[in-house]
Amino acid sequence: MPKYKIKVNGVAKAVEADSDTPLLYVLRDELELHGPRFGCGLGQCGACTVHINGAAVRSCVVPVSAVGTGAVTTLEGLGSSQKPSKLQQAFIDEQAAQCGYCINGMIMQAADLLKRNPKPTEQQIKEGLAMNLCRCGTHKRIVRAVQRASDQEVTA
């Protein structure tokens, strides 16, 4: 099996995997990172979202061989339970998670959105997160969390 050196959350990691193995499986099964979740396996739900070189991607459809020298950031790389990032803390403060399954994708997609647009409107937040599915319906709290993280008045 091929060996790959990938940088995950700022740390170089050596992994063995077939070249077409989804990055999600390497992150969860080999590196034991549980932020990214398996949802649909088709890149449609967003539960598996990570950043590669700062851009949000669906790790269930990105083969590990495509990462190359790119830097991968997972939910664990944004902050920790002891020291959450501003965005993670906003999700906690707004109690944005109900079942919590979508939250990895929502936070990772929101982090990408806020990097590109530090002060998005409510509509821009909704559009930016539209391709991330939430089945339990905490959409309003999720939007409020992103607004809070962007230092805007919470309106949703």
Domain ranges, ordered by start, for the chain: 3-75, 86-149
CA distance 16 to 66: 14
∠ CA 103-73-52, rounded to 5°:
105
pLDDT of residue 155: 58
What angle, rounded to 10 degrees, do the helices at 139-149 and 103-116 form? 40
- Give the helix/strand (H/E) hosting 105: helix 103-116
pTM of the model: 0.93
pLDDT of residue 150: 94
**Whole-number pLDDT of residue 103:** 94
Beta strands per DSSP E along 17-117: 49-52, 55-58, 71-73
Q: Name residue, tokens 């990462």.
A: 67
Domain 3-75 has CATH 3.40.50.1100: no
Helices of type H across 48-98: 75-78, 86-93
C-alpha of 121 from chain center: 21
pLDDT values of the chain reduced to their tens digit, one per residue, 156 residues: 889 999 999 999 999 999 999 999 999 999 999 999 999 999 999 999 999 999 999 999 999 999 999 999 999 999 998 999 999 999 999 999 888 889 999 999 999 999 999 999 999 999 999 999 988 778 899 999 999 999 876 655
Q: Running DSSP on this structure, what letter comes out for residue 138? A: -
pLDDT computed for residue 24 by the predictor: 98
* Homologous superfamily (CATH) for 86-149: [2Fe-2S]-binding domain (1.10.150.120)
Counting other chains too, the contacts that 111-114 makes at CB distance below 8 Å and 24 or more residues apart are 111/51, 111/56, 111/78, 111/85, 111/87, 112/51, 112/54, 112/55, 112/56, 113/146, 114/87, 114/146, 114/149, 114/150
